[in-house]
């Protein structure tokens, strides 16, 4: 099966499976799991933070960050397309009593600095207290420029805000720019990093921050039912995600660009090549074709895609250059099955 739906479908490597089988474990709620402790110390050192916390998912990492930065009735500023606003079930509002203030994302994925500045609430009892600016990198496969991150950090500092990065795919952003991940994370007070997407670990994300934030996040994690016991089995794979899977992301980026170039040669699709910067391709299907029928035709040929007028294709470790070639080859007959008569 060739699965373009997301890089969350990646399977752990054989080295990860072997490491999981032989992992030294303890009880992480007691702080006794040596493999988890080693992962957290390694990650904090790699990315320039006082501490790190291993959690079950990126959604949980983002929620813990928001709840550690903000109290009830506080507010965080984010983009309309931000994952921690649009795709995480309203957790900040429901579980943290934190108000989101979503702003329009620009075409490059950023939020206009002027919009951020204008959204910060005055210190007045009528308003929620603006405490946090949350950015995402990559966002929709696009990379936020380093200069923009520096400007956003300065804006946050000058206005008494903390700044968080949803860095689910921050490794992709770093590889695309030819820089270290720490060169991106240096601009933030907290960062979440997903290990189970392009980095191929089976489960888990990291939250990074200072000692105070990690202590608060650990308490919230327990309260939310996120305390895990002999989780070193998973942390063993997570360590290999950070040490063995980052550099190879360039292969995913190359495959995504190759796929996008192939789709641009087909009149049934519209693709903006300038927005293919990492491992995501967005292709708008002509109105004379039914996306649902196209997905069904591809599935019969062991290819999975997300449905919608604009289709998102995500390349990852388990999609090779040959897989992309095969997809492009079978696409024409599949389109014939999807044409609306």
What is the structure's pLDDT at 33? 97
What is the structure's pLDDT at 290? 96
End residue of a domain, out of 210, 244, 278 = 244
Same domain for 219 and 239?
Answer: yes
Same domain for 254 and 178?
Answer: no
First to last CA, the chain: 29
For residue 295, give the CATH number of its domain: 3.90.1150.10
What is the structure's pLDDT at 172? 98
How much is the pTM? 0.95
The one-digit pLDDT tens for each residue of the chain (341 residues) are 999 999 999 999 999 999 999 999 999 999 999 999 999 999 999 999 999 999 999 999 999 999 999 999 999 999 999 999 999 999 999 999 999 999 999 999 999 999 999 999 999 999 999 999 999 999 999 999 999 999 999 999 999 999 999 999 999 999 999 999 999 999 999 999 999 999 999 999 999 999 999 999 999 999 999 999 999 999 999 999 999 999 999 999 999 999 999 999 999 999 999 999 999 999 999 999 999 999 999 999 999 999 999 999 999 999 999 999 999 999 999 999 999 97
End residue of a domain, out of 197, 219, 244 = 244
DSSP 3-state of 37: helix
Rounded to whole angstroms, the Cα distance separating 191 from 181 reads 11
Same domain for 172 and 316?
Answer: no
Same domain for 45 and 178?
Answer: yes
Region of residue 89 (phi > 0: left; psi between -120 and 50: alpha; otherwise: beta):
left
Rounded to whole angstroms, the Cα distance separating 136 from 149 reads 10
Same domain for 233 and 297?
Answer: no
End residue of a domain, out of 222, 244, 266 = 244
What is the structure's pLDDT at 153? 98
Same domain for 261 and 187?
Answer: no
Same domain for 70 and 158?
Answer: yes
For residue 77, give the CATH number of its domain: 3.40.640.10
Domain count, the chain: 2
**236, 15 contact by CB (below 8 A):** no
Q: Closest Cα partner for 277 from 187, 177, 181, 168? A: 177
Q: Which tokens hold the place of 150? A: 């520096």
What is the structure's pLDDT at 113? 98
What is the structure's pLDDT at 21? 98
Q: What is the pLDDT of residues 206-216, one digit of tens each?
A: 999 999 999 99
What is the structure's pLDDT at 9? 97
Rounded to whole angstroms, the Cα distance separating 25 from 145 reads 40
- Which residue range(s) make up the domain with 318? 249-338
């Amino acid at each position: 099966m060739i699965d373009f739906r997301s890089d969350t479908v990646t399977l752990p490597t054989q080295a990860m499976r072997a490491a999981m089988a032989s992992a030294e474990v303890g009880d992480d709620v007691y702080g006794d799991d040596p493999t988890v402790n080693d992962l957290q110390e390694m990650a904090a050192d790699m990315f320039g933070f006082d501490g790190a916390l291993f959690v079950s998912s990126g959604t949980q990492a983002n929620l813990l960050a928001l709840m550690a930065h903000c109290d009830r009735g506080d507010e965080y500023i984010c983009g309309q397309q931000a994952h921690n606003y649009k795709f995480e079930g309203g957790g900040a509002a429901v579980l943290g009593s934190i108000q989101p203030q979503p702003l329009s994302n620009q075409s490059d994925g950023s939020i206009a600095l002027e919009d951020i500045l204008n959204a910060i609430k005055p210190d007045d009892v009528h308003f929620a207290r603006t405490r946090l600016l949350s950015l995402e990198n990559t966002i929709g496969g696009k990379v936020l420029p380093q200069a923009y991150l520096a400007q956003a950090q300065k804006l946050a500092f000058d206005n008494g805000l903390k700044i968080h990065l949803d860095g689910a795919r921050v490794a992709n952003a770093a590889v695309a720019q030819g820089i270290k991940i720490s060169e991106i994370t240096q601009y933030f007070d907290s960062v979440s990093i997903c290990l189970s997407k392009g980095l191929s670990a089976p489960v888990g994300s990291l939250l990074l921050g200072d000692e105070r934030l990690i202590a608060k996040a650990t308490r919230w994690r327990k309260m939310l039912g996120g305390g895990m016991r002999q989780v070193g089995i998973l942390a063993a794979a997570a360590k290999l995600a950070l040490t063995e899977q980052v550099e190879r992301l360039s292969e995913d980026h190359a495959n995504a660009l190759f796929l996008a170039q192939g789709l641009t040669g087909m009149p049934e699709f519209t693709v903006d090549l300038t927005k293919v910067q990492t491992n995501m391709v967005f292709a708008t299907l002509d109105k004379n074709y039914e996306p649902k029928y196209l997905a069904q035709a591809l599935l019969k040929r062991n290819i999975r895609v997300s449905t919608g007028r604009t289709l998102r294709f995500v390349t990852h470790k388990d999609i090779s250059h040959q897989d992309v070639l095969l997809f492009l080859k079978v696409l024409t007959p599949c389109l014939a099955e999807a044409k609306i008569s």
